[in-house]
Each structure stands twice: as C-alpha cells, then as structure tokens.
Structure 1
Amino acid sequence: MSTQEKTQGKAINAKPIMGKQKVPAQLATVTDLNSEEVQAVSNAVNPLIADAFALYTKTKNFHWHLSGSHFRDYHKLFDQQAGTILASIDVMAERVRRIGGTTIRSISMISELQTIKDDNDDFVPPGEMVKRLMDDNTHIAQMIRAAIEAAEHSRDNATANALEEILDETERRKWFLFEVMQGKDNTV
C-alpha cells in the first residue's frame, strides 16, 4: 500500500484508527453529532495532529542543523514555519474535544498515527531540507483535504472550516518552500 493510499485510508476510513473511543464521563462534551460522526471526525483529524507534531519536529530539526550560505534566511524561514505548524496542533486537538472526541495523549500515540517519515540523518544539505519539507507539506495538504471531506460528510462544518484555515497555512508554507527551491544556487 502506498503512503498516499495509507494516508487517505486513515483520513476517511470508516474503521476507527484509534479504536472505538469510550470518552470518560468527565470529558464527555455534549454535541448534536452522533457517535459515528464524532468518531469519523476524530479518525480524520488525529492523524493530522500526529503528522503536525512530526513535521514540527522535522522543521525544528532542520532549523537547528542548518549549514551553508543561506543559513540566516533558512533558519528564520524554518523557525517561522515550525511556529505555524505548532499553532495548528492546538486548533485541531481542541476541535476534536469540542465535538466529544478524544485526541493525542502520548508520543507513542503520535508514532502510531503519523504518516510523515521521521528524519534522523546526521547531515542534510539545505536544498534537500527544503525539498523534504515541501514534500511533507504537500502530503499534509492532501491529508487535510481528505479530513475536510470527512468532517463535511459528518455534518461538522466548524472542523472543516478550521481545517481550511490550516490548509491555507500549509499551502503558504509549500509556496515559500517552492520559491526557495527555485533559487539558482540551491541545488539538491
């Protein structure tokens, strides 16, 4: 199964990714969505949260481990992009909780749900960093679009709207990375 098939299956698959979640009574948010709709939205959004954590970490990794003539510009760009990724995590997790779902609780849960590949290479040239981040942001954009469809199908327009804003930020990151890749001395 390809990464894209795996991603699309996770984002819109009727089979719960995290299992049928029983929400503790103390956390049972009142909603007009039925339990299947809540589970579908939770199953679509939680992998996005896991991938946002993975992409945040990768972006900060590249921010910390830059070298070369574009150091200052890339260092600032990666830091700014990491900040928008981090901000999206709380928005998504709170949407899941607002509709009565449960969300990420641990690093192991992130690892279980993430579809973004970790990057543990000792050294990555700056141009390759940009390419990897652009590829990962493209992947995230595809997942967000699938999650928007799942939210709309589950009558959860508020989550779909929040995801559309996150998609816009993702596309902005892709655009900036694309333009950086167009630089004539930025060879991969």
Structure 2
Amino acid sequence: MKKPTRKSAAAKGATLKGKQHAPLATPTDLDARATRDISGVMNAILADVFALYLKTKNFHWHMSGPHFRDYHLMLDEQADQLFAMTDPIAERIRKVGGDTLRSIGHIARLQRVSDNDAEYVEPSDMLAELREDNKTLAARLREAHGVCDERHDLSTASLIEVWIDETERRTWFLFESSRRGDSSGH
C-alpha cells in the first residue's frame, strides 16, 4: 500500500502561480457562437468604458479656467457613472459563458477610445473630445444591442438600453456645457 504524500508548500505555490486549468465556462442555454459573439462585443465595450472612464477622470483632474467647479463636478459625476457600468458588463460576459478582461494590457488591446496624454488641454477641447467619445460609445452600444438581439440575449440588451440613455445624457450635458451664451450656439 502506497502512503499518501502531502504537497510541499513550494509545490502548492507553484500551482497557484502557474496556469490552472479550472473550467470557467458558465452553463448557459446560449450556443457557443452566441457566447463568442456577445463576449467579443461586450469586452470591446468594457475596454472602451474603462478607457473613457480614465480619460474623463484625467480631464476632471486637469480641468482649469473660469468654469472649473462646474466642469470638475460634472466630469466627476460622469466618471462615476462610467465606472458603475464596468462590473455589470463584466458580469454579463461571465453569465453568458464568456471570459472577460484580465488586465490593463488587455484593455489597451481592445479599446477603441483614443487616449489623451497631452500635458495641457483647453477645457473646451476636453468637453468636445468627451462629447465625441460618448457619442461614439452610444453608437457602439447600439451595435452591441443588435448582436444581443440576434443571439436572443434579452438581459444584456436590456442593460444596454439603460447605458445608451446614460451615454446620450452625458453627450447632451457635454454639448450644452460647451455652448457659448449667445443664440448662435456652438
């Protein structure tokens, strides 16, 4: 009779540090193609939301000028709203049987929102850039909604509808905040 052996602490640590082969495929009634398509489109959305969150915080931290307080507070509120989207997006991806983002590098590979690393950006340019980024995000959310509709994922589509509305609201506020006070508009 062979005596059972205990794994050494070093062996246990190696297992934890190395790749584990635990199955992460969450059971779902969606087929593999639906899981792949929904996960793919929503991971791209998640990467964009993280990138837009950080850009919004960047502009919030570096805001200046006579409207500092108003813009600073608005961008903080918008960043909070973007960050609040991240966990529900990632959890939906997992619920439909997919894998989601794992690192900053993964976000960088998938994001379509351009970074802005400029040392100084005029407040009006910040608002304009964020307005366009949010407008583009709304369009991408609509595309993702179409994928979810095609694959009969009503739950993700329902969440996307709320996020489209929130994104349109951010776009609207950024637009109105950047208009001149006269009747000629922007």
Post-superposition offset of 1:25? 4.5
Distance 1:60 1:168 in 2: 21
What is aligned with 2:107? 110
TM-score relative to the length of structure 2: 0.85
Distance 2:164 2:74 in 1: 18
One-letter amino acid matched to 2:40: N
Superposed CA offset, 1:107-160 (max 9, x none): 111000000000001100111100000000011011000000001101101101
What is aligned with 1:42? 39
Equivalences for residues 158-177 of structure 1 within 5 A = 158-177=155-174
1:74 and 2:71 matched: yes
Identity of aligned residues (%): 46
**Long gaps (5+) in structure 2:** 1-20
What is aligned with 2:151? 154
- Helix, strand or coil at the partner of 1:27: coil
Superposed CA offset, 1:74-127 (max 9, x none): 000000000000001111111001111011000111000000000001100111
1:98 and 2:95 matched: yes
What is aligned with 1:27? 24
Post-superposition offset of 1:26? 3.8
Distance 1:183 1:43 in 2: 41
What is aligned with 2:116? 119
One-letter amino acid matched to 1:83: D
Post-superposition offset of 1:183? 3.1
Distance 1:166 1:90 in 2: 13
Distance 1:26 1:71 in 2: 50
Post-superposition offset of 1:182? 1.6
Post-superposition offset of 1:178? 1.1
Distance 1:54 1:168 in 2: 19
What is aligned with 1:129? 126
Post-superposition offset of 1:28? 1.9
What is aligned with 1:10? none
Post-superposition offset of 1:181? 1.6
**Long gaps (5+) in structure 1:** 1-23
TM-score relative to the length of structure 1: 0.84
Greater relative CO, 1 or 2 (CA 8 Å, sep 6+): 1
